[in-house]
Amino acid sequence: MRQRELRRLQAQLVELTLHQRSGVGAAEPSVQRWVLARHQSPSACPHCQSRHLVRNGQAHGFQHFRCRGCGVTLTA
């Protein structure tokens, strides 16, 4: 698959509902894990266990978060 086609597919996957995302990976579990990982928010900071996380931009389609407790940045 060409890079341009892959980026277009990734952009389209972001627009799917949760129900649609779960159907995408039915034939290929690795695809389902990839799609869900891109949209799942962490529940707590792995460094200080604080639950005060805020969105902090995106990179390569993955949401980044910043902990307000200790300042650590993490990816979904």
In this prediction, residue 35 carries a pLDDT of 64
Average pLDDT over residues 38-66: 83
Of the chain, the percentage scoring pLDDT greater than 90 comes to 20
Q: How confident is the model at residue 36 (pLDDT cuts 50, 70, 90)?
A: low
Secondary structure class of 59 (helix, strand, coil): strand
- This prediction has a pTM of 0.49
Structure tokens at 29: 């579990």
Which one of 7-11, 60-64, 69-73 scores highest in mean pLDDT? 69-73
**H or E stretch covering 36:** helix 29-37
Closest CA to 35 of 47, 50, 20: 20
Task: Note the pLDDT of residue 70.
Answer: 95
